[in-house]
Chain A
């Protein structure tokens, strides 16, 4: 297959790896992806040790795996000979050298992965230089084995290496304390001696560059499963943040009477918002909705991870799609701002405060992804890791206290939005029907608070009617 790759070291080094040092030295050939390397110790320009880079074998290739080294360290290479077999996203290909010399040091072992353009080996021009090359490889070799962006700069040039080093070093430091914590609660790890992780968890860990040893498994018998890796990856260096946040909830649940406790940042923000809401002329409209059909649907798809919150959000979003004015807001007191997307914010109580994670485009997402998204947001909210766009882009807010048995309440309109809906508990209620019978139906009361500058009574009434129709015949929710 070597013939497919006559230009194995593609002439792309310049654009792939802009290197001011190298381009200024002008000793390196721009046509070849074996770059020359200045010896720091030698003083004079030696230009005898070249790097072999991971070539780009296809237009979509971003990293390559070393299938096998055809040559071993110390072996003499002739121009055009195959040195290494690289697996790209499409095929295995032999990669040839464009220079005579000696394969001085292999920097990425067989089975290792390297980013396109990063050094995978050093090529010495003469036998005498093998040692020098090796010591260089040893200097950058440890980090070269991985394919992190830091690697590329480390091995590329001695100068950025010093900058890159602390970055690379910070990862293990951060991971270390976690590792200790983890092994204690990791029954499958046999006292930290081994890591038991499912195949997909291992794959994900490699992709997301997460250290498996630092993760506590939540699977059967403490096994690390994919979810654990994802959680770990989503929590970048949480150690400091968590400890700092820890005292606050502790205080909240264990209040010392007779003391004054200042607002936390979040509580301060809630306070400001509530005051601001007083400048908005709001009014309220309530509606009673029968939920038998919704309850039945929920029961049916609950096992697929669908939550009631997601169902309500979806129903609300579908109703809003038909009544854009209820999804609008008044920003400046002079105009309607019709929002382009329907983002349902849902109020969540968390330790020491309140936050409104946002289900974006709730009318367009299907109920299953909406449920997954919701779960993810709640987890993030609890871990205090929500990004600003995940809690401040809501166009309509839901507040549900039904789970506490509250049957009706009203909510304060969050500034910047047009309406908020307070949802009470669904309860069996004796209902008189039009045909004169009395039956028991599950009903819940909803109560919408809206900004009367943009949303009028008839608007809300029509919206609520649509919503009740959707909830009473919820077949559209599962699309």
Chain B
């Protein structure tokens, strides 16, 4: 049904209500664009008229189309598009992280002359100080865990004795991976003809960017994608040796006997997995009353039972770390804790190291936002649902977009990239609003945690507000042949859905390869596929994907 729908849309003649019917004479590009478009939900069809903007292949006709687009999208002709002056670039992206990279690649594909500005290293946080090197460390920790789990190995009939590791070797693996991915990213952009401008980028004025000290570049549109840095609460003194952030931890310069991890979100949890596998003992310090806030409570509970309780980890919840002093003069790292509610001093921890994993702060200082009258909110650049920057009067700033961690909508690398692609779609004549509820997230512990959409409490709250019914289905990895063959039956998949129409509201998975399994659900949400249709889809046997197969099949849709 979706397919037929998209067909009708992709044929401009079939849209009589289009106000741009006259443009139907322009040959409609028949490339993958249409296929992607069919992915939009039925609700999103309101935007379909936008698709009839000419996505022409010639420069001149594009500029016409885009001036149309700008005035349309801004809703007011404020003259910004008045002067058809010539620009150095069609698009300048400030920040060559994963968000900027994704946007640049898509922009080139769409025929835009694109430049990307990078003041540090290509790849940004994800590639250099985040997801990528941490995956290298987690790959090591996963193997160490397997090799150390005698019980598990014995059950498989394997004998391994005294698994050990070489810290520098592990650190090198992480660093080499980051370098390799950084090289790949750089080469992919160079190969496609994206200009990489080296220097710190700042917005000088509308459609004007300063790169480094005195180079000024103009562009039709600007995307800010400057990302984030580790957030360090005040009172905490980071020395980079014994009190560290994820930036330092990923270099794995030492493996402390006992490390306190402040914050039990994704970052803290992943590092606890790495450190405990390498022999450290871990103490979590969490300000909220529960570990792993942000995860679906049921998944969180199970994860705690598997990832925390049996490991060499203890925790303090409901406490703030008000003061953390690095180790010096033979004294250990001290962490002063106060009760999060009463603010009364509770305890002082003495540990060998402390990792600050309290989240990330947007990196937006020195961006010249004052030149365009934009005020950040707690450092984040305010944007609307189309990533268009909002100034301090609440008006949209023309030709300026912000994606990724800097806007704080969803601080994930792939979300930044998706936002960037969404912006390029708009710039090239197709309105597009990214459905953030379809963006999956994963935590690469052993086993992994992944999720997409709403948690159960969020779904129930929404249901109450909007007056629909919510149902929950669950399946266990214990019933999955492949999981049992791997001797990894620990795990749960949970589906939150509307029994009245079969809409998926959220899927949460804890178990072997959960991060890879989530995409069936996230794609279904993105494409608007309903459970009743998914039930008929076929999964190879025996695979872990059958966990989701069973999950969908166990849902009861009253249609």
Contact = CB atoms under 8 A, between A and B. Distances in A.
Contact of B281 (A92, A198, A479): A198
Given A92-B301, A223-B350, A199 B281 contact: yes
A42 interface: no
- Among A87, A203, A479: residue with most chain B CB under 10 A: A203
| Dominant secondary structure of chain A at its interface with chain B | helix
B282 interface: yes
Interface string B404-440: 0000000000000000000000000000000000000
Contact of B258 (A199, A203, A479): A199
Interface in B289-327: 301-302, 305, 312-314
Given A92-B301, A220-B257, A304-B164, A200 B281 contact: yes
A369 to B, nearest CB: 7
Contact of A220 (B164, B301, B332): B332
Interface residues of B, number: 17
Contacts of A223: 258, 350
A99 interface: no
Interface string A277-317: 00000000000000000000000000010000000000000
B464 to A, nearest CB: 21
Contacts of A200: 281, 312
Interface string B321-348: 0000000000010000000000000000
Contacts of B282: 199
B162 A199 contact: no
B161 A366 contact: yes
Given A92-B301, A220-B332, A221-B332, A199 B312 contact: yes
B283 interface: yes
Contact of A188 (B301, B313, B314, B350): B350
Interface string A428-443: 0000000000000000
Given A198-B281, A220-B352, A304 B162 contact: yes
A409 interface: no
Given A198-B281, A221-B350, A368 B332 contact: no
B281 A368 contact: no
Contacts of B312: 198-200, 203, 226
Interface string B155-168: 00000011010000
Contact of B314 (A203, A226, A366, A369): A203
Interface string A154-189: 000000000000000000000000000000000010
Contacts of A219: 257
A196 B350 contact: yes
Nearest to B298: A92
B332 A199 contact: no
A71 interface: no
Interface in B149-179: 161-162, 164
Interface in A221-265: 221, 223, 225-226
Interface string A193-209: 00010111011000000
A367 B162 CA distance: 9
Given A219-B257, A366-B161, A87 B305 contact: yes
A479 B283 CA distance: 36
Contact of A199 (B161, B301, B305, B313): B313
Interface in A337-378: 366-369
9 contacts: A199-B258, A199-B313, A202-B314, A203-B314, A223-B258, A225-B257, A304-B164, A366-B161, A366-B162
Interface of B: 161-162, 164, 257-258, 281-283, 301-302, 305, 312-314, 332, 350, 352
Return the 8 tightest CB-CB contacts between A and B, nearest first: A368-B162, A200-B312, A366-B161, A199-B314, A199-B281, A198-B281, A200-B281, A198-B258
Interface of A: 87, 91-92, 188, 196, 198-200, 202-203, 219-221, 223, 225-226, 304, 366-369, 479
